Each structure stands twice: as structure tokens, then as C-alpha cells.
């Protein structure tokens, strides 16, 4: 059996007045998704327990068949896997966004989708000025700070523990993408280790204020990275290999370190598409081609596309519709053309979580999925969207149960 999973990140949404009361998914031209719906089954899945923050880290684990209440330890540790950063017992990984905060308001959690080169220079400054040993009150070396540059605004801080780390499960740090255009003060880190995170963020403001990279960006009419924002902290997780649980080998295709890292932790092969950007300008067609090629040598291939989520965070309904149309045209339609060449096959299309254009942020709640292929009988549904899914009798209150059904 050949299995394909397509994740249009954050595509689930609300009806939009600008779309005549339709959701972006309903408004998008999606012949491939609708074909899968007519062939198979559309339903609902709840990928994020209410006690956890709605985001791709939790939701992706759930979508891949793992109970996040049992295995989730934090977002940043998942990204370190894809970045090749080793975490030792007692070490903590912390997500380090480059953001644009103006007058105490989160104006852009991506610092204008800062480029890799600009981001790398700023993170290098963080390492030079803030990295290194942290002393305890008694003068002992408590830990070592290491800043690592990633992709665009997404970077990592590692706290290498020499003494017990100051962080715990009670440490609170908010994702910057969930506070767009809002004052940041109520969302600053708190709890164990919160004082250290706030101190580092404050120091980054001073370092970035007159940084040559920001001076150049402002002259070019771009947004400055006014500071770093620290969140998503956690220790290294332990996951059973996907092949041990489900007897299926897999591959992951994504431009986002978080999703790459989850796939790699599962034991899947990482396949990088050079022209994939993790943004609206990603190369959809190349992702489709790479997926078609990868399925030849793998039991399962997962293709993740970040674009719908990015459009939602920018509050751009039109861009979200366009991204969904590109996913359908260049990824789902081509896959549905070649998969029947295999004796047995199945496809699953599902977002990980909801991302609302109205709030520009992630949201708890169910998401629609469609699965089709060998052994999946049609339920007579005519399209794939939130309304059809809501009317379906097929529903998974625990999202991690969907994978078991898909592979059954």
C-alpha cells in the first residue's frame, strides 16, 4: 500500500464576508480535493487538546498518530532535530523569533519575513554578546547559552544545563504569532526562568536598535527586527518510531524545521525541496514533483505546505484562497493522477490546526479532513470543506486516532 498525506497548514477557517459567506477552502477552486471527497470520506478531527496551545507542534504530532498529551515536551526541541542540534539530558531548547515590536505592540512576528542572511547576522550578534556562561547567585556556572540561526525569523536558543535548569512545565511563554497587533506586555514570559528570558529579550532590543542589518533594512523600506522573542521552550522528546508503531516507512517534505523535525523524530527520511520557502512564494509544483518521486521508494510520503497558515497570520483572505488553489493544482491533482498506477493506495488531506484570518492567529477546534483510495468506500459527499465535514458522521475527538483509521 502507498500512502500520501498532504497538510495545507492552517487552512481551516471561518466564513468570510469578503467571500460571500464562504470559507477560504470553500471559495478556492479545488477539483483535486473535491475528487477525493467524492471517492472517499470527509470528516472532522480534533488535533489539539484544550489543555495545550493550538499550534503545529501539538497538532502535527496528533495528525501523525501520536497522543500529544503523552509525548509533547515543547516546540523548540522538535525544531532542533531538523537543525542538527543535539540536546543532552537537562538541556532546554527555546524558540528565538526575530520580531518587529513598535511602541510595545507586536507589529510583525516575522520581522518582515526577514531573509536568511539578515537573520543570521542578527543571531550571530546575539551569540557574541549574550551567548556563553550564565552564573548562579553563588558564582557557579549554572548553564551555557547558545544561539543558532535557522530559516528566516525562526531561530533557536539552547540552554545547556550545568546546574538544574531554571525552567519547568510551569514556565509560560506565548507564541508571537498569536498576539498580532496587540500589546506584548501581558504576554511576556513568566514563571520559572521567565526572568532570564525577559532579560535576554530586553538586551536584544538594545543590541538591535542600531544594528547595521536594521539600518540597511530601514533604508530599503523593510521592517527592522527590533528584538528577539523567546518561547516554545522544552526538553528533548522521546518518540517511538513510526515504522515500529504502524509498520510503514515514511518521508517528510516541508520547508519548516518544526515539521521536518517531527518527521525525523518519527524515523522518516527528510526530503528537501530547494525552491520551497515556507511562505506564500513557495514552489508548489516542485513539492508535487518531489512527492511523486518519493512515493516510488517509500510506503508513506507527507507533504506539508505552510502558505495557508502564513496568509492567515497576515489577515489576507485572498492569499489564503490562492495558496489553497496552488496546493490543489500542483500537488493534489498530480498525486491523484499517479497514485492509481500503484496496486493499492490512499491519500489523506488535512490541515493540522485552524488559523483564522479574522484573528490572524491559531485556534482550538476541529479541522476537516478527506481520505480516499483503496478500501475506503464513498460516503456520497460532493466536496471537501468545513461545512461538509461538520455534517459528516465521521469524527475523531482524539485526533491521533485518525492515523490509525487511515492506515487500517
- Helix 76-83 vs helix 257-265: crossing angle, to nearest 10: 80
Taking 90 as the threshold, does the pLDDT of residue 60 lie above it? yes
Taking 90 as the threshold, does the pLDDT of residue 25 lie above it? yes
Work out the burial of residue 318: count CB atoms within 10 Å of its CB; fewer than 13 is exposed, 13-18 middle, 19 or more buried: middle
Give the residues across from 198 on adjacent strands.
Answer: none
Q: Decide if 223 contacts 111 (C-beta within 8 A).
A: yes
Q: Decide if 57 contacts 233 (C-beta within 8 A).
A: no
How far is Cα of residue 76 from the mean position of the Cα atoms in its chain? 11
Q: Decide if 155 contacts 338 (C-beta within 8 A).
A: no
Q: Give Cβ neighbours of residue 397 (< 8 Å, ≥ 6 apart).
A: 46
Taking 90 as the threshold, does the pLDDT of residue 238 lie above it? no
Taking 90 as the threshold, does the pLDDT of residue 325 lie above it? yes
> How far is Cα 203 from Cα 47, in angstroms, rounded to an integer?
37
**Tens-digit pLDDT profile for residues 260-319:** 999 999 999 999 999 999 999 999 999 999 999 999 999 999 999 999 999 999 999 999
pLDDT at 322: 98
Q: Angle 280-281-287 (CA atoms, 0-180°, nearest 5)? A: 95
Mean pLDDT over 234-248 rounds to 94
User: Domain map of the chain by residue range?
Assistant: 2-72+239-407, 83-234
The residue with cell 490543489 is 328
Among the ranges given (25-29, 40-44, 121-125, 175-179), the one the predictor scored with the smallest mean pLDDT: 175-179
pLDDT band at 137 (very low <50, low <70, confident <90, very high): confident
Q: What percent of the chain has pLDDT over 90?
A: 97
Residue 302: closest CA among 244, 364, 237, 348: 348
- Which segments of 22-75 does DSSP mark as H helices, in order? 24-27, 31-39, 56-63, 68-71
Residue 178: closest CA among 280, 106, 233: 106
Q: What percent of the chain has pLDDT over 70?
A: 100
- Which segments of 247-382 does DSSP mark as H helices, in order? 257-265, 284-294, 307-313, 317-327, 333-338
> How far is Cα 172 from Cα 98, in angstroms, rounded to an integer?
19
pLDDT at 136: 87
**Tens-digit pLDDT profile for residues 254-263:** 999 999 999 9
**Tens-digit pLDDT profile for residues 77-97:** 999 999 999 999 999 999 999
Mean pLDDT over 204-224 rounds to 97
**Tens-digit pLDDT profile for residues 345-377:** 999 999 999 999 999 999 999 999 999 999 999
CATH 3.40.720.10 fits 2-72+239-407, yes or no: yes
Q: Decide if 124 contacts 213 (C-beta within 8 A).
A: no
Amino acid at each position: 500500500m502507498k500512502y500520501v498525506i498532504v497538510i495545507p497548514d492552517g487552512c481551516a477557517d471561518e466564513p468570510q464576508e469578503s467571500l460571500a459567506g464562504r470559507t477560504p477552502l470553500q471559495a478556492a477552486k479545488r477539483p483535486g480535493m473535491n475528487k477525493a471527497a467524492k471517492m472517499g470520506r470527509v470528516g472532522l478531527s480534533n488535533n489539539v487538546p484544550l489543555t495545550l496551545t493550538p499550534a503545529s507542534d501539538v497538532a502535527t504530532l496528533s495528525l501523525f498518530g501520536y497522543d500529544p498529551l503523552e509525548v509533547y515536551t515543547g516546540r523548540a526541541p522538535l525544531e532542533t532535530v531538523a537543525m542538527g542540534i543535539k540536546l543532552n539530558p537537562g538541556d532546554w531548547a527555546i524558540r528565538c523569533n526575530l520580531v518587529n515590536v513598535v511602541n510595545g505592540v507586536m507589529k510583525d512576528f516575522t520581522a518582515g519575513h526577514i531573509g536568511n542572511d539578515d537573520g543570521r547576522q542578527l543571531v550571530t550578534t546575539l551569540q557574541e554578546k549574550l551567548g556563553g556562561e550564565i552564573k548562579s547567585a553563588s558564582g557557579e556556572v549554572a548553564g551555557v547559552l547558545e544561539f543558532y540561526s535557522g530559516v528566516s525569523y525562526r531561530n533557536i536558543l539552547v540552554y545547556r544545563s550545568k546546574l538544574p535548569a531554571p525552567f519547568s512545565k510551569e514556565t509560560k511563554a506565548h507564541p508571537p504569532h498569536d498576539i498580532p497587533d496587540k500589546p506584548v506586555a501581558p504576554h511576556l514570559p513568566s514563571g520559572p526562568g521567565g526572568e532570564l528570558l525577559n532579560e535576554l529579550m530586553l538586551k536584544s532590543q538594545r543590541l538591535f536598535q542600531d544594528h547595521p542589518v536594521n539600518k540597511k533594512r530601514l533604508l530599503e523600506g523593510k521592517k527592522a527586527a527590533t528584538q528577539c522573542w523567546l518561547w516554545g521552550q522544552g526538553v528533548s522528546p522521546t518518540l517511538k518510531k513510526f515504522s515500529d508503531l504502524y509498520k510503514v516507512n515514511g518521508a517528510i517534505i516541508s520547508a519548516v524545521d518544526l515539521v521536518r523535525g517531527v518527521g525525523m523524530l518519527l524515523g522518516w527520511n527528510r526530503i528537501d525541496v530547494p525552491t520551497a520557502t515556507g511562505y506564500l512564494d513557495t514552489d508548489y509544483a516542485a513539492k508535487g514533483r518531489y512527492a511523486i518521486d518519493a512515493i516510488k521508494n517509500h510506503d508513506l510520503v507527507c507533504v506539508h505546505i505552510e502558505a495557508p497558515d502564513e496568509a492567515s497570520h497576515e489577515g489576507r483572505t485572498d492569499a489564503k484562497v490562492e495558496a489553497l488553489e496552488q496546493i490543489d493544482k500542483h500537488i493534489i491533482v498530480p498525486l491523484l493522477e499517479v497514485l492509481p498506477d500503484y496496486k493499492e493506495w490512499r491519500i489523506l488531506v488535512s490541515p493540522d490546526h485552524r488559523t483564522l484570518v479574522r484573528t490572524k492567529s491559531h485556534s482550538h477546534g476541529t479541522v476537516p479532513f478527506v481520505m480516499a483510495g483503496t478500501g475506503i468506500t464513498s460516503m456520497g459527499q460532493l466536496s471537501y470543506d468545513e461545512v461538509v465535514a461538520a455534517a459528516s458522521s465521521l469524527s475523531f475527538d482524539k485526533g491521533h486516532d485518525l492515523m490509525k483509521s487511515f492506515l487500517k
